[in-house]
Amino acid sequence: MKKIITCGLLLFAFIAVANAQADKKADAKEAKATFQPGWYMSLYTGYNLFLGEGSNILQSGNSINFRKDGGLLSTFGLGYDFNPVIGVRGELGWARHGWKGVSATGVTDPHWWSANLTGDLTVNLSNWWGGYNPDRIFDVTAFGGLGLGVRSAHEVAAKKQVTPIVRAGLLGSFHLSKQFDLNAEVATNAVRDGFNGVKAGLFFDDFTAFQVGFTYHFKATSKAAPAPAPEPVIQIKEVVKHDTVFVKVPAPKVTKTVTKEFAKEIFFGFDNSSVKDLNQKASIEETVAFLKTNPDAKLTIDGYADKNSGSKAYNLKLSKKRAQAVAKAITKAGVDNSRLTVVGHGVIPQLYKEKAKNRLTTLKSSYQVVEVQ
Condensed to tens digits (0 to 9), the pLDDT of residues 120-132 reads 999 999 999 988 8
Name the 3-class secondary structure at 9: helix
- Residue 25: the pLDDT is 46
CA 318 – CA 371 distance, rounded (Å):
41
Q: What is the mean pLDDT of residues 185-209?
A: 88
- Over range 217-231, report the average pLDDT: 65
Q: How far apart are CA 158 and CA 155, in angstroms?
A: 8
Q: Yes or no: say if 112 and 95 are a contact pair by the CB < 8 Å rule.
A: no
Q: In order of start, what are the domains of the chain with their CATH numbers?
A: 2-217 (2.40.160.20), 255-372 (3.30.1330.60)
CA–CA gap between residue 260 and residue 281 (Å, rounded):
23
Is 221 a residue whose pLDDT tops 90? no
Q: Alpha-carbon distance 268 to 370, whole Å?
A: 37
User: What distance in Å separates the CA atoms of residue 307 and residue 273, rounded to the nearest whole number?
Assistant: 16
Q: Read off the DSSP letter of residue 188.
A: E
- Position 311 scores a pLDDT of 86
**Tens of pLDDT along 262-274?**
898 999 888 888 8
**Band of pLDDT at residue 2, cut at 50, 70 and 90:** very low
- C-alpha distances (whole Å) from 230 to each of 8, 76, 102, 235 are 53, 47, 77, 14
Most confident residue range from 5-19, 143-157, 195-209: 143-157
CB 303 within 8 A of CB 320: yes
161-175/86-98 β-pairing: unpaired
DSSP string, 330-356: HHHTT--GGGEEEEE-TTSS---SSGG
Q: Is the link from the previous residue into 349 a cis peptide, with omega within 30 of 0?
A: yes
Q: Which of 22-26, 124-128, 152-156 has the lowest mean pLDDT?
A: 22-26
d(CA 258, CA 366): 10
Edge-to-edge strand order for the sheet containing 299-303?
Answer: 255-267, 360-372, 299-303, 340-344
DSSP E strands in the chain: the ranges are 38-51, 70-81, 86-98, 111-124, 138-151, 161-175, 180-192, 204-217, 255-267, 299-303, 340-344, 360-372
Task: Return the DSSP state at 29.
Answer: G
- Mean of the pLDDT values across residues 149-177? 92
Binned at pLDDT 50, 70 and 90, residue 357 comes out as confident
